[in-house]
Structure 1
Amino acid sequence: MQQKRNIQIIEWEDLDKRKFYSFGVFMTMTIRATVYPATLIRTRLQVQKGKSLYSGTFDAFFKILRTEGVRGLYRGFMVNTLTLISGQAYITTYELVRKYVSDYTSDNMLKSLVAGGSASLVAQSITVPIDVVSQQLMMQGFHGGEQLTRFRLAVPQVDAGAAGKLQSKRMFGHQTRDIVSQIFAMDGLRGFYRGYVASLLTYIPNSAVWWPFYHFYAEQLSRLAPSDCPHLVLQAIAGPLAAATASTVTNPMDVVRARVQVEGRSSVIETFKQLIAEEGAWGMTKGLSARIISSTPTAIVMVVGYETLKKLSLRPELVDSRHW
């Protein structure tokens, strides 16, 4: 435990903001590109009815790869990259709120809980409109039979055989504009915040659950590991464990969120009831393995990469005063 207390925390005022944001955008873009296929698979699994098209994460991966190619795994990715804005907003809010809470408490766990919840609130306000559009693009090529009749948007489907012919006629920009126009025509600006409440009910608790479990796992690992084990290694293990736990706890609401946003539903409660009626408790686990797969590298980057990012962004005059 002594080793844990000796870790130096780099606070907001210690950072060179220009370096911090430059490195942060690169890091966030890299991790999003890596986990995006798992995010797309998770969305399709959560939206499909039962197992009418995909039986699981790996089945979905190979079917998409076979019928739609690598491009199919990255449908909607360009729109989703706009969430880089929300990522930077999350980091900024987290650090500023943490700094503010520091005036009232020295408890790092409490500071992280409050800052994480606040950051999620700000980030989701930016992310939800992007998600609504990118999720519709994710469903391109999704030939789920009866499911397609349930989607609110009549988005033209692109299958593998026609992809080449349509590429010159219906490029990414045209599809995106079509989706944006249809959403606005149906619901106005409100349509872009479809599932906003469900998103808040998913990601704020996810952030709140992640931190306590992260500290718990780190503490348990520090007791079991040899005394000379680097603290960074323990963090790298505790992060994914906490992410898997948080994903499992909040996955039911994540399934509801995906259905509300993709199918155009307006009621979180009614969507939840219908999901239980149609698929039972098992429906609450849809996409869980894909979600854990995508959250694991994110957790490693969050724990290890983020601290490294802050070290690289340390103000020049403070570099020699810090020892790791």
Structure 2
Amino acid sequence: MQQKRNIQIIEWEDLDKRKFYSFGVFMTMTIRATVYPATLIRTRLQVQRGKSLYSGTFDAFFKILRTEGVRGLYRGFMVNTLTLISGQAYITTYELVRKYVSQYSEDNTVKSLVAGGMASLVAQSITVPIDVISQQLMMQGQGEHLTRFRLNSNTETGKPKKVFGQTRNIMGQIFAADGFRGFYRGYVASLLTYIPNSAVWWPFYHFYAEQLSQLAPSDCPHLILQAMAGPLAAATASTVTNPMDVVRARVQVEGRSSVIETFRQLIKEEGGWGLTKGLSARIISSTPTALVMVVGYETLKKLSLRPELVDSRHW
């Protein structure tokens, strides 16, 4: 660890892995349930043409709530919870790659950038099929005319719906239309979105934390500084990568095969402003996510410290 660093970073070898994974699953699930409505709104805003359905984030929120109820804001949530697997894969990859890179460089920016990018590569390989399915479910209701697939309503009145029945319905349609490759539609676009996003977020997170530590009183708890740094890093990363996120959403929902052609059509139809679609919803979802994630993640690492190291970390 660099001696000049004011905020100590708890590394992989400092952790009790059993505690780390047990607490981690609960933390990830809580975060996803909290921000899912903003994720759904962001997807609908990015896919719509111009302002044909919603004029903005808050307009979308109230329209969905009024016409579809609270359940409308959580369409596809159950299948989306499977991303818990990719979340754990992300954390593990990030920490292990940081440990590996530290053998060649002690520069924290280098470790964070490389580890963040690799972690996103592994996580997206697991997440993309889940995203493809959950995004199609998100678009049902008011947004169903914007997607290729619509739920078949063949259940008899009064009979309870089968668990994951809608998910199986959409999966069957995707497979029938595109085969197995359909579940990885937009994979390249996802990598081009989330690898840079992750690679940018971690270095900026540590950068903002360090800058804030220089301004804050010496007795200021590190967790407060980290809680402020997380949302700042999230807003920065979201702004930088939002254009590719818009393209990714359209490729996956509309069934396009070319990232470049989708980008060109977006620019042609909606100009440069089209690249900012859903940005406010993305920031609204990513900043509190980052706040909860940072507080939860840093607390998680603190709680997972090996017993002999507990008294050696300033909090």
Per the normalisation by structure 2, the TM-score is: 0.91
More displaced stretch, 194-203 vs 209-218: 209-218
Cα-to-partner distance string for 1:210-243 (whole Å, 9 max, x where unaligned):
2333234334333433344333222211211111
More displaced stretch, 221-230 vs 60-69: 221-230
CA contact (8 A) 1:4 1:231 kept: no
C-alpha displacement at 1:312, in angstroms?
0.7
Change beyond 3 A, Cα 1:312–1:4: farther
C-alpha displacement at 1:278, in angstroms?
1.0
Query: Residue 252 of structure 1 aligns with which residue?
Result: 243
Cα-to-partner distance string for 1:95-150 (whole Å, 9 max, x where unaligned):
11111111111111211111110000000000000000000110110xx6895376
Change beyond 3 A, Cα 1:15–1:261: same
CA distance in 2, matches of 1:2, 1:112: 14
CA distance in 2, matches of 1:9, 1:221: 15
Change beyond 3 A, Cα 1:242–1:84: same
Change beyond 3 A, Cα 1:108–1:145: closer
Change beyond 3 A, Cα 1:162–1:202: farther
CA distance in 2, matches of 1:212, 1:24: 22
Change beyond 3 A, Cα 1:4–1:23: farther
CA contact (8 A) 2:47 2:250 kept: yes
CA distance in 2, matches of 1:257, 1:151: 17
More displaced stretch, 234-243 vs 37-46: 234-243
CA contact (8 A) 2:201 2:233 kept: yes
More displaced stretch, 294-303 vs 91-100: 294-303
CA contact (8 A) 1:151 1:263 kept: no
SS at match of 1:307: helix
CA distance in 1, matches of 2:268, 2:81: 35
CA distance in 1, matches of 2:297, 2:40: 25
Change beyond 3 A, Cα 1:216–1:310: closer
C-alpha displacement at 1:66, in angstroms?
0.2
Change beyond 3 A, Cα 1:160–1:35: farther
Change beyond 3 A, Cα 1:145–1:288: closer
Change beyond 3 A, Cα 1:86–1:208: same
More displaced stretch, 194-203 vs 178-187: 178-187
CA contact (8 A) 1:48 1:147 kept: no
How many residues in Structure 1 have an aligned counterpart in Structure 2? 313
CA contact (8 A) 2:47 2:146 kept: no
CA contact (8 A) 1:3 1:231 kept: no
CA distance in 1, matches of 2:17, 2:190: 29
Change beyond 3 A, Cα 1:238–1:270: same
CA contact (8 A) 1:49 1:147 kept: no
Cα-to-partner distance string for 1:232-291 (whole Å, 9 max, x where unaligned):
222211211111111011101000000000111000001011111111111111111110
C-alpha displacement at 1:303, in angstroms?
2.4
Query: Residue 210 of structure 2 aligns with which residue?
Result: 219
More displaced stretch, 116-125 vs 211-220: 211-220
Per the normalisation by structure 1, the TM-score is: 0.89
CA contact (8 A) 2:136 2:149 kept: no
Query: Residue 41 of structure 2 aligns with which residue?
Result: 41
Query: Residue 319 of structure 1 aligns with which residue?
Result: 310
C-alpha displacement at 1:322, in angstroms?
4.1
CA contact (8 A) 2:45 2:278 kept: yes
CA contact (8 A) 2:80 2:134 kept: yes
C-alpha displacement at 1:184, in angstroms?
1.3
CA contact (8 A) 1:113 1:211 kept: yes
C-alpha displacement at 1:2, in angstroms?
11
Change beyond 3 A, Cα 1:314–1:164: farther
SS at match of 1:86: helix
CA contact (8 A) 1:152 1:264 kept: no
Change beyond 3 A, Cα 1:198–1:39: same
More displaced stretch, 2-11 vs 24-33: 2-11
Gaps of 5+ in 2: none
CA distance in 2, matches of 1:146, 1:134: 13
CA contact (8 A) 1:69 1:160 kept: no
C-alpha displacement at 1:94, in angstroms?
0.5
CA contact (8 A) 1:151 1:264 kept: no
Change beyond 3 A, Cα 1:259–1:322: same
CA contact (8 A) 2:147 2:254 kept: no
SS at match of 2:123: helix
CA contact (8 A) 1:67 1:160 kept: no
Cα-to-partner distance string for 1:167-222 (whole Å, 9 max, x where unaligned):
xx57642x111111111122221111000000000001111222333234334333
C-alpha displacement at 1:13, in angstroms?
2.0
Q: Does 1:50 align with 2:50?
A: yes
CA distance in 1, matches of 2:105, 2:173: 48
C-alpha displacement at 1:323, in angstroms?
4.5
CA contact (8 A) 1:248 1:288 kept: yes
Q: Does 1:282 align with 2:278?
A: no
